[in-house]
Structures are given as structure tokens and as C-alpha cells.
Amino acid sequence: MSTGECGPGDDPMPFLCPTQKEQLAFAAMKYDGKKSVWVPHKKEGFVKAEIQDSTGDKVTVKTAKNEVHVKKSTTGEFSVYLRPFLACSIPSGQIPKC
């Protein structure tokens, strides 16, 4: 199971309602709508990255730990609007109040 994945009986609230410290860190995060993307990661599922270079169908991205080369089709747009998506994917259909 990758980090961020809830198993049966796991509490999803830490992912739906970040602490105030996490909210401030997220608000201060560097973001460029054209360069910020999600890229696949073996252990974490997906990690945030920034496009450094693009050639054809390949991109060079910089993650928090290193620089990697991936296919452009494997990257995902980094959206700051994650909570509405998460709320739609909650099986019970109930949006928690943070």
C-alpha cells in the first residue's frame, strides 16, 4: 500500500482535513500552472514535480529528491483544487467538516 492510500478501517480524515501547519505549507508552495505536475512514483503513487525540459514525448522533471525523465503522457496536471475531487470520491458521500 502506498503512502496516502487508506485501507479498510483507516481514518481518511488526515487526508481530507490537513492541519493548519499543513495548510500554510501548501499555500506557500511554489506553483506554476504550466510547469507543476504529478509524476508516477513506485512507493508514493504520485509525487509533485516541476518540468525542467521537454523534448518530443519525454519530459525532464525535478521532484523534491531528484531529477527524472518520464513520458509526457504519464504526467498529470497539478491542481490546487483537490478537496472537491476527494469529496466526490468518498464512498459514504459525506463531506467532513474540518
With respect to residue 2, please indicate whether it lies within any of the assigned structural domains.
no
Amino acid residing at 2: S
SS3 72: helix
What confidence tier does 9 reach under pLDDT thresholds 50, 70, 90? confident
What mean pLDDT comes out for the span 23-52?
Answer: 85
Q: What distance in Å separates the CA atoms of residue 82 and residue 96, rounded to the nearest whole number?
A: 14
With respect to residue 57, please indicate whether it lies within any of the assigned structural domains.
yes
Count of domains in the chain?
A: 1
Q: H or E element: which one contains 15?
A: helix 13-16
With respect to residue 3, please indicate whether it lies within any of the assigned structural domains.
no
pLDDT at 84 over 50: no
Q: What is the predicted pLDDT for the residue at 28?
A: 82
pLDDT at 4 over 60: no
With respect to residue 21, please indicate whether it lies within any of the assigned structural domains.
no
With respect to residue 14, please indicate whether it lies within any of the assigned structural domains.
no
Exposed / middle / buried, residue 59 (Cβ in 10 Å: 0-12, 13-18, 19+): buried
Question: Residues 46-69: pLDDT tens digits?
Answer: 888 999 999 999 999 999 999 999
Q: What distance in Å separates the CA atoms of residue 20 and residue 28, rounded to the nearest whole number?
A: 12
Its domain, for residue 81, covers 29-88
**What is this structure's pTM?**
0.57
With respect to residue 8, please indicate whether it lies within any of the assigned structural domains.
no
With respect to residue 11, please indicate whether it lies within any of the assigned structural domains.
no
With respect to residue 7, please indicate whether it lies within any of the assigned structural domains.
no
In which order are the strands placed within the sheet that holds 67-71? 67-71, 58-62, 45-55, 36-41, 76-77
CATH (domain of 52):
2.30.30.360
Of 7-16, 20-29, 52-61, the least confident: 7-16
The mean pLDDT of the chain is: 78
Exposed / middle / buried, residue 53 (Cβ in 10 Å: 0-12, 13-18, 19+): exposed
